[in-house]
Structure 1
Amino acid sequence: MKSETVARAWAVVRHDGLTLGFTDHDQTLNFEGISFRPDSGLSAKAVVQASGLSVDNTEAMGALSDSAITEVDLLAGRWDSADVRLWDVDWNAPSNRRLIFRGRLGEVSRSGGAFRAELRGLSEPLNRVLGRVYHQRCSAELGDGRCHFQLSKPGYWSEGVIESHDAGQRFILSGVSGHDARWFERGTFVVQSGAAEGLRGSIKIDLPLSGSRRDVELWSGLGQHPQVGDRVKLIAGCDKRAETCRLKFLNFLNFRGFPHLPPEDWLIAPQVSR
């Protein structure tokens, strides 16, 4: 590969399958079924790679445009953890190329009509602290491989329609009935139709109103606001207490906490000798 004919090409794939290709060459490149466009304004700093299990890191920068990566989609989190691949490619013969980076988009910032995104290499997950925490509350996530609870069970989810909303954070829903107050707190709010389809939020407050109406507030607003008439799905939440696992989910056999562990106050309290 001659240095004077080398260009860089990027492929970015979102979780919903949308794939975009970019290049710093002045013409479109085509390979692996992707068209890499030259008009994106996407570029990157030098890729930092090390031997062993060190984390690869670099930074991508680009212009926000309606035809590529939009500010609305970034705010909505649609590009969070998107898969990224970077090649050195001979623009005279695209089959002559070398993959030099693969990872995911990390933290994204925006200003002045442009974005800056951190790129995290495949070894990034190896930075996580591993090991079990001994605590009274459950250490599993509701519905994961350690919890084993099936959230698709009847009664643990419900669908409704947005009647009104406040800044995309507090919603009045219709069509949700048969659930106790706070049933969905700490659960998940999923938009199922409209421009915000697929976006998720964590539920802070969940209270029934008259009839089949419900007042639901999220911990933080969704990046793209759902609109009146959009359908949403509510999934039950868990506060990780043993009592909740036993009575609400009937799943105490899979409880991953230690409810009889003495509290910290007991550990530091002076012991009375006999």
Structure 2
Amino acid sequence: MRINICGVEIDKYSFDEVVERIIEHASSQGEPEYVVTPNAMHILLLQKDALFQEIYRKAFLVVPDGVSLLWAAKLLQTPLKGRVNGTDLFEKLCAIAAEEGLKVFLLGGRPGSAEKAKETLVSRYPSLQIVGTYCPPYGFESQPTELNSINSTIIATAPHILFVGLGAPKQEKWIAANCLYLGVPISVGIGVSFEMVSNMVTRSPVLMQKTGFEWLFRLLVEPRRLWKRYIFGNPTFIWLVIKQYMGLFKGFSNKKIFRRF
């Protein structure tokens, strides 16, 4: 079952249910599928990006990464079962992959973050098989030679789960364009999770995560990179939710109604 928030259909699964579905599909080596983890920023980007919208419609799972989505769902009287944070999902899936003998590949992140995340996770779960890490250069998506090299590396290592940390919507668009060719059972876009697991980016205190103020902590830690996203984005998201609550939301629009974040 999916519920609608500002035109985006989001799965109504608990964290444990999401983990179970992903592991089951990866273990059975089913047809290539992908998981998207929306937050308020994704909701805004989706309002004006038709390709991003189509990618979301075809996703295996659409799980609520941001607490703001839980608040919006409650206001709209269609409550979700809880947050499925991308970093928590990444760590939990790696823990179970270690138990189940599933192979994983880490693609993206800042230079060195995927390798540091690998070191951290393998120290926690010694049996975890991280069969590859790679940080592609800036602009790689327009470099055919680089794209072919990445794909060949992933295919050769044959992971069960591919974690992609390229930021939205780049990671989702890359996954959607390549997942069938790669043949990886499950691909998951996880944003800055490599950096957080490796402590290259400090994660907010648990209380701030639970109360929905993780965005404020991240803004304080990386103000130059994130100020536009949160200062302009948060009010716009709130306005869209209010419009939906009042019955005034008419669906996606291709009009540029807010700044790019």
Judge same fold: TM > 0.5, yes or no.
no
Larger helix fraction of residues? 2
TM norm structure 1: 0.25
Larger strand fraction of residues? 1
